[in-house]
Amino acid sequence: MTDPYQPILETLAKAKRVLITTHVRPDGDALGSTAAMVLGLRKKNMEAEVLLLSHLPKKYAFVYRDLGIFHHDAEAGWPASLSLEKFDLLLVIDTGTWSQLPGLREWIEGWDVPKLVVDHHLTQENWASHKLVDTQAAAAGEIVAELLKRWNIPLDASIATALFLAIATDTGWFQFSNTRPCTMRLAATLMEAGVDTDKMYQLLYQNERAERIALQARAMQSMELLGDNRLAVMMVRKADFEATRASVPDTEALINVPLQIATVEVSILLTEPMEPGPIRVSLRSKGKIDVAKFAEQFGGGGHARAAGLKVAGELPTVRDRVVTEMIKVL
Ligand SMILES: [Mn+2]
Convert the pLDDT of each residue in 198-245 to its tens digit. Answer: 999 999 999 999 999 999 999 999 999 999 999 999 999 999 999 999
Spacing, Cα 16 to ligand 1 middle (Å): 26
pLDDT at 185 over 80: yes
Spacing, Cα 138 to ligand 1 middle (Å): 7
pTM for the predicted model, two decimal places: 0.85
pLDDT at 249 over 80: yes
Average pLDDT over residues 83-92: 95
Bridge partners of 116? 91, 130
Can you give the pLDDT at residue 302? 82
Spacing, Cα 163 to ligand 1 middle (Å): 11
| Confidence class for position 2, pLDDT limits 50, 70, 90 | confident
Spacing, Cα 30 to ligand 1 middle (Å): 6
Average pLDDT over residues 183-198: 98
Spacing, Cα 58 to ligand 1 middle (Å): 18
Task: List the domains of the chain with CATH numbers.
Answer: 5-205 (3.90.1640.10), 210-329 (3.10.310.30)
Average pLDDT over residues 19-38: 97
Look at the alpha carbons of 41, 42, 44, 50 in this order and tell me if their dihedral is positive or negative. positive
70 phi, psi to nearest 5 deg: -85, 145
For the chain, give the percent of residues with pLDDT over 70. Answer: 99
Spacing, Cα 158 to ligand 1 middle (Å): 19
Spacing, Cα 164 to ligand 1 middle (Å): 12
For the chain, give the percent of residues with pLDDT over 90. Answer: 92
Rounded Cα gap, residues 185 and 62, in angstroms:
25
> Tens digit of pLDDT for each residue in 43-83?
999 999 999 999 999 999 999 999 999 999 999 988 767 88
Q: Give the contacts of 151 (CB within 8 A, at least 6 positions apart).
A: 9, 12, 13, 40, 44
Spacing, Cα 142 to ligand 1 middle (Å): 10
Spacing, Cα 256 to ligand 1 middle (Å): 20
Q: What is the largest CA-CA distance in the chain?
A: 63
Spacing, Cα 118 to ligand 1 middle (Å): 10
CB 89 within 8 A of CB 11: yes
Spacing, Cα 311 to ligand 1 middle (Å): 32
Can you give the pLDDT at residue 1? 62
